[in-house]
Amino acid sequence: MKTLVIYDSFFGNTEQIARAIGRAFGPEDDAAIVRVGDVKPEQLAGLSLLIVGSPTRAFRPSQATTKLLKSIAREGLGGVNVAAFDTRVTEEEIAKGPWILRKMVRIFGYAAKPIADSLVKKGGELVIAPEGFFVTGNEGPLKEGELERAEEWAKKIVAGDLRVQRVAHPVPDNT
Ligand SMILES: Cc1cc2nc3c(=O)[nH]c(=O)nc-3n(C[C@H](O)[C@H](O)[C@H](O)COP(=O)(O)O)c2cc1C
């Protein structure tokens, strides 16, 4: 199972989440965690699972994340399982802000969903709902428990992915 976790991060929070996600994979899973600006085209070839995460910036993924997603060819993710996550401020923080911010969050949302939509548009098979992980304040740190929650989220993907592989490659019945 060749896995790639791509992340962007300005203050280090999304990087920490990406690394927590990486901990859900065993040595046999061949998982790499790479910052979006360092991804080489060949790293996107032959993947069984691609996870992309970004900080939410103005309701969207970071520019570098959007650029990377746009650079993937049409159907470039055919046969690849995909998942998406973001980091974002807490609902309590947004509730403290002006009404216009609350309204814009309701309308435009966060980064994970557009990332997932883009991965699916490129032919990927979405294996889990897009997920958001919370930072306290604008620059973090992460809300308590989010690293553990990220690892649990990824474990669900691993369990699901292995199930997909078992169905795809059934063990021959020699009885
Ligand atoms: C310019 C800017 C825009 C932001 N826009 C949003 C936003 O629209 N929604 C949100 O929930 N958080 C927003 N945030 C908070 C970021 O999501 C937060 O800084 C990020 O999760 C931290 O992750 P990082 O340390 O990996 O950069 C914004 C932060 C900055 C600096």
The model's pTM:
0.92
Give the model confidence (pLDDT) of 94-109 as tens digits: 999 999 999 999 999 9
CB of 65 sitting under 6 A from ligand 1: no
**Cα–ligand 1 centroid distance for 55 (angstroms):** 6
Give the model confidence (pLDDT) of 3-26 as tens digits: 999 999 999 999 999 999 999 998
Angle formed by the axes of helices 146-168 and 13-22, nearest 10°: 40
CB of 10 sitting under 6 A from ligand 1: yes
Give the model confidence (pLDDT) of 107-150 as tens digits: 999 999 999 999 999 999 999 999 999 999 999 999 999 999 99
Which of 159, 112, 154 minimizes the C-alpha distance to 131?
112
| Predicted confidence band of residue 1 (pLDDT cuts 50, 70, 90) | confident
For ligand 1, atom 11, name the residue with the nearest CA: 88
Q: Where are the alpha helices (DSSP H) in 4-145?
A: 13-22, 63-71, 91-96, 99-108, 112-121
Q: Give the chain's mean pLDDT.
A: 92
CB of 23 sitting under 6 A from ligand 1: no
